[in-house]
Structure 1
Amino acid sequence: MPRTPVYEQVIADVVAAIEAGTLKPGDKLPSIAELRERYESSAWPIRYALRILDERGWIETHQGKGSFVKGKDGT
């Protein structure tokens, strides 16, 4: 059985944490370095996952500050 790509694992885990209430609006996601270590991955799939989460409206990313969970009203 093929292994799920890292970026899909990251997306699924972040979305599940938001839906479960573990991550709340305004919460900061772990840094790319922390996520790289957690998923034993290079930075590329982590950045790709964060970009997709941002495009889908789950998070917002601010260069130099990090990625944060968006609220239901988009903030």
Structure 2
Amino acid sequence: MPQAPLYELIITDIVASIRAGTLKPDDKLPSIEEMRGQYQSSAWPVRFALRILEERGWIITRQGKGSFVAPNPPAQAER
């Protein structure tokens, strides 16, 4: 069975942390550099995952400040 792309793993991990309450609304996510180290990857999959999470309403990104859990993340059934 093929392994999911790394950006999908990052998305799944962040969404799971939000759903579990480990990450709460307005919490700051780790920096891109920290996530690169955590996932042992280049910056591309991390940035791509963050872009998708923002498009889906899970996070907001503030230029020069970082990425934060959205004040009202999507319903539990969404991904």
TM-based fold match above 0.5: yes
RMSD, aligned α-carbons: 1.5
Q: Which residues of structure 2 form unaligned runs of 5+?
A: 75-79
Q: CA deviation at 1:60?
A: 0.2
Return structure 1 stretches of 4+ with deviation > 4 angstroms: none
User: CA–CA distance in 1 between the matches of 2:67 and 2:60?
Assistant: 6
Residue 37 of structure 1: aligned partner:
37
Q: Which residues of structure 1 form unaligned runs of 5+?
A: none
TM-score (norm 1): 0.92
Residue 26 of structure 2: aligned partner:
26
User: CA–CA distance in 1 between the matches of 2:73 and 2:43?
Assistant: 30
What are the superposed Cα offsets for residues 33-73 of structure 1, whole Å, 9 maximum, x if unpaired? 00001001100010000000000000000121000001227
